[in-house]
Structure 1
Amino acid sequence: MTSSARFVAFLAYYYCLLLFTMASAGDVFDHGRHGTSLAQVQEAKTTRCSRASVAGPPKPLLVAAPCDAGEYPVVVFLHGYLANNYFYSQLLQHVASHGFIVIGPQLYSFSGPDTTGEINSAAAVIDWLADGLSSSLPPDVRPNLTAVSISGHSRGGKVAFALALGHAKTSLPLAALIAVDPVDGTGLGNQTPPPILTYKETPLHVPAPIMVIGTGLGELPRNFLCPPCAPLGVSHAAFYHECAAPACHLVARDYGHTDMMDDVTTGAKGLATRAVCKSGEARAPMRRFVGGAMVAFLKKWVEGRPEWLDGIRERPEVAPVVLSVVEFRDE
């Protein structure tokens, strides 16, 4: 083969490899190959004779799972401040369609500034999974509980960090941590207890890989009456700054703090998700991005398949939103 022929063959190979990388990276932003089920699981009821019951979880759950028989990794997703877990049903099903069981506990209906109760409740849910989750899944669907991944949005992202840092002990090892536009208070110097950000040079030593997803509009007020939903200094950039490797940071430029929620969020709380936070034009692209980024990260660090996350890193334009930040802190 002549040198020119070898060069042409190399270009063809590189072009095919590039197309494969773009396609595989983009695949995670679409619904996966699995059909999904979505089930509500009621919390355990106490009786006069017993203070607790193993029949149900310690908090109500929304469980998204593949319909196909098999064993799948488990992800716990923690809702944002004063939100309902079912506001994320489309996001949870997106992740589940790619081969994950996603558990969304309803940690509370109303809560004050202290997140200690939420941290303890989330830990109790994780401890319940080993004994109780299998009965809440479709037939022949089995959870792989050798480790569990923890994710959360807004204040739920702070709670996810708190769990990973050992603010409450859990019985299952941590596989990965994903914080979606996490918030640690109402502003710099006004963290909600217990504070997570330290503002020190020493990084937060989480015993697992970390993904931080941010929004470009979350740090901006919707109007002069509503403060930012993810204030500067206590939001995604501050969290990523304190993360030890391995970690990554992706920011959707034109989307807001609640734009990964369902298209329709009902009730007073649902209306507030649109009325209080500055938002982008439509939720579907942001939801596809968040779901796909979560899947790509979990595929790498839970299943040992890095090609989807590597594809996003090399070709961020495959994402359904414009990314203003693409940062990776390697091991």
Structure 2
Amino acid sequence: MKINACQTLFRSTAIVFAMIAWMGCVGCHVLSPDHISARQQFIAPELVNDSSNQLEFGKPHKVLDTAGWIWGIPGKILLWDHRVDNHHITAPTVEAVADYLQANNLPHVKVRVNQYAPIDDFHRLRKNKTVAWPYRYTLGLLSVGGETILPGRFFGGDHFNPFTQTVHLYSDIPAVALHELAHAKDFTRRKYQGTYALAYAFIPTWHETIASRDVMAHLYDRRDRSGIIEANRVLYPAYGTYVAGTASWFIPNGGSALYYGCVIAGHINGRMLSRDIDQHLADYHQTFRSRPVSTPAAIVPHQLPGVPVPSSLPMQDGPASVEPSELTAPSLSQREPENAQVLTR
């Protein structure tokens, strides 16, 4: 048994190093730009009608934020970026968030920037009727309960909670923020959002690929050269962790060699791709310049004159969509910390 285990470990290590060598030579464009098609959206009117600010900020706390920064050191090393879980979000990241929310019509998504607000999240869980109640009051309660007991304000961990339609940010990296927002955009187009959330527990690589490719498309559309380089540098090694998780189903004894090998391969691949960023930008715009970016054509609107809002939603993962007439996203007013730049729109 020990010999077989050693042989399996040796093979998995050899596979990892072969993959690293291959990616280092050619630069594999796994996360190629690809917009999330959002021809329709499924949105709970109660979330759109929420009178609170769409972006909310936690008050700076030197001791707590410093402790969170220290706790986040492993993540900083893994992605090789000191901004991971630094609990200090600056204006460029906030601006990237505001731009993405507006460009993709996500008026129901809450963004909590280094904020701990479990009571509000429980209220959002109750209001989010695009997820059927059996999912909300099982997986949803577990997710919000976990955020309450293990607060990201200390433990970090940028993520999107589909049960509350809330993005939690603790890292000052625009590419990471856009990635979490892309998850929100992906879920919004799904009719059965509870089932889609359950699927993430088994095949997260599917969801992660879709979100990262949308981020790349968003940045390529804007010709954001520095943003693309940052996304290549951060999203590829992060993606490697999910690839390793999927590969572990087939190489159960791969262990640390498989995990860290995939992360290293992601670092190498992302940097190799950035060498040819100008050519990639030229090729992208040459290919897609005649294709309009898809925009949502069907949503559940909030209350507008002459536009009915369903008084009750069917007991399923998503309500029937309604054609919009004049829907506009609410303004992104914020409770801004004293040391951050205020955005106005």
TM-score tier, shorter chain, comes to under 0.3
TM-score by length of 1: 0.27
**Larger RCO (CA within 8 A; separation ≥ 6):** 2
Task: Report which of the two has the higher share of helix.
Answer: 2
TM-score by length of 2: 0.26
